Amino acid sequence: DAQLKATKLATSAQYALSEAPYAQRIKYVATVLNERGLSPEFLSEWLAWLLAKKISVEQMRRLDRRTSLMCVEFRLSVPHDLGLDKVRAELIAISSAHQTDVALQPDNVFRRQKRLVVFDMDSTLIQQEVIDEIARATGIEEQVAAITERAMQGEMDFGESLAARVALLAGTPVSVLEGVKQRLVFTEGAHYLCRALKSAGFKLAVISGGFLPLAKHVKTELGLDYAFANQLAVSADGSVLVGETVGPVVDAARKAELLEVIAQAEGIAIDQVVAVGDGANDLLMLAKASLGIAFNAKPRVQEQARARINQKSLANILYLMGYSESEASELQLLG
């Protein structure tokens, strides 16, 4: 009975089932998450799917402490010949049908030994796209939006579209950037997540296809360790933008490269790296990390990323990393 399953999970911090056979099995952890509560209908379909795939549930652990059941971690024993890439579409379908995220990860020594988290900035750590905010402040929003749309339709690559949009900013007073900083809205849970991770000893970075002055501001506000983004060229007297960038463009390839550079500088294995982003420009970075999370991402990104979160709060990332709500609260006290 689905309601009974939900009740058992909701009233017990840990609910263990019979130990699954180990021969020819691979261990995985699945985290299921819905901020509005896990419905009996979802739990019924999820457990039926596991049964159909001959996936055994070894243990279930409730991670949240809300009134309604929100997040459960399942320790799974999976047949060795079950190609998880083949079932990705099925998991996405189940997730979409119930607005409930399902994240599947290998249950190995690195799952709870992550040490570096790299974030995209626009529409990830903050709710806006910074170039749109600059364009709005200077009255060229429609022109910039038209170029952005062409890029989204595949008519222009990122570097080409960035150059075209930045060219429209020529003559914009540098002071406009200060106003944009004040209008930035951080994504729900961003501060909570970063405080918890810093208290746990993580290194944190923002790698953005946006602009460095804004990325540095976000770095300061959230207590991050690194900030990389595109550098806007300014006039000789430093008063206006000249409509160009300086140095390497932070595109998809550069993002993945910078992730690896930070990991090497900190002596951190790629197996200990998490990346979070929402756009096509983040795909290579998400693929490079051992745990790539598509956060409220574009459909193409959700289809390709190893994990998806389609909830409001960034703090939900802590669940995917194995932290319970109680543990996350303890980390807040240390921050």
pLDDT classification of 148: cutoffs 50, 70, 90: confident
Q: What is the pTM of this model?
A: 0.91
The label of the residue with tokens 């506000």 reads 221
- What does the pLDDT look like over 262-316, one tens digit per residue? 999 999 999 999 999 999 899 999 999 999 999 999 888 999 999 999 999 999 9
pLDDT tens digits, one per residue of 227-255:
999 999 999 999 999 999 999 999 999 99
CA dihedral over 56, 59, 328, 32, signed as positive or negative: positive
Q: What is the pLDDT of residue 165?
A: 94
pLDDT at 313: 98
Largest CA distance in the chain: 72
Question: Band of the pLDDT at 123, cuts 50, 70, 90?
Answer: very high
Residue ranges of alpha helices (H) inside the chain are: 2-10, 40-52, 84-98, 130-138, 141-152, 158-167, 175-183, 190-199, 212-222, 252-266, 283-288, 299-304, 317-320, 325-334
Q: Which residues are catalytic?
A: 120, 122
- Estimate the crossing angle of helix 158-167 against helix 141-152, to 10 degrees: 170
